[in-house]
Amino acid sequence: MNFFSMSDKGMVRPNNEDFTESFQWRWCSCTGVQESFTALIVADGMGGAAAGELASSLAVKTVKDKLQASLLSENVETVLAADLRETLSGYCKEANEAIFSKAQANPDMEGMGTTIVIAIVSRDMLTLCHVGDSRCYMHREGRLKRLTRDHSLVQEMIDAGKIAPDQAEKHPNKNVITRALGVAATVEPECSRLPIFTGDVLVLGSDGLCGFVDERTIKDMVEKQASQPNSNLKQLAQHLIECANMNGGADNISVCLYRH
């Protein structure tokens, strides 16, 4: 299997407010060509009591249900040929409205929200949509590149030249995000679209992964896994989570992996 997702509560948190989902549709086109549509989603919830868990699960379920309904109800060729950036942005906005409405109706859930990062792979194209600081990396030909830009206070400080990128991980406000689903009536997701090639590996992670396993280590672990016979993405996911836990495991840890 060329995709896998896993989540762990870490070493400190009593419960897991992250939520992950991955699924793949395969079929044979009318011309006899094997087609596939792969979706990877990571959400990192926040809020008191069980509110964070609810926010992340509601966000992922909303996006998944919308995607699958689209694949079932519309002409598949139309879905595959479409530019999914606007579609995914719309689904995130619907998830935002659902979470915000639930929080408004339940005082105990006030302030709940979630990050989200979505990756869709179809016909050698990758479409990304994200809100918050959950990330997507791509490993290609010996290089690991971050494909998403954190919606966070420290990222804004980096962009403004107030701090250097290597100061971000130790900054006291490194966990302050500037966008999330559900915390306001409206939200603006960030989307992108780019080609994906055979051998490329995607790593989606919550900040429990990305904040505790540096990019060099992620790169090395992806390459080590690829070089070993009979290795698989489940083993890579387990090793990444183990590494985050060995480095403190102070947050929930979620990872989605895909190899093209």
Q: What is the mean pLDDT of residues 140-155?
A: 96
Q: What is the mean pLDDT of residues 142-147?
A: 98
Instruction: Give residue 49's pLDDT.
Output: 62
Instruction: Give residue 11's pLDDT.
Output: 97
Share of the chain above pLDDT 70, in %: 97
Instruction: Give residue 74's pLDDT.
Output: 65
- Cα gap 224→218, rounded to integer Å: 10
* Residue 246 contacts residue 238 (beta carbons within 8 Å): no
Give Cβ neighbours of residue 134 (< 8 Å, ≥ 6 apart).
42, 43, 44, 115, 116, 117, 148, 204, 205, 206, 207, 210, 254
Instruction: Give residue 26's pLDDT.
Output: 83
* CATH number, domain 11-259, options 3.30.420.10, 3.90.1200.10, 1.20.120.160, 3.60.40.10: 3.60.40.10
Asked which of 25-29, 77-81, 216-220 is least confident by mean pLDDT, the reply is: 77-81
Predicted TM-score (pTM) of the model is: 0.95
Mean pLDDT of the chain: 93
Instruction: Give residue 73's pLDDT.
Output: 74
* pLDDT greater than 90 at residue 79: no
* pLDDT greater than 70 at residue 75: no
Band the pLDDT of 14: cuts 50, 70, 90. Answer: very high
* pLDDT greater than 80 at residue 30: no
Band the pLDDT of 187: cuts 50, 70, 90. Answer: very high
* pLDDT greater than 90 at residue 185: yes
* pLDDT greater than 80 at residue 195: yes
Band the pLDDT of 32: cuts 50, 70, 90. Answer: confident
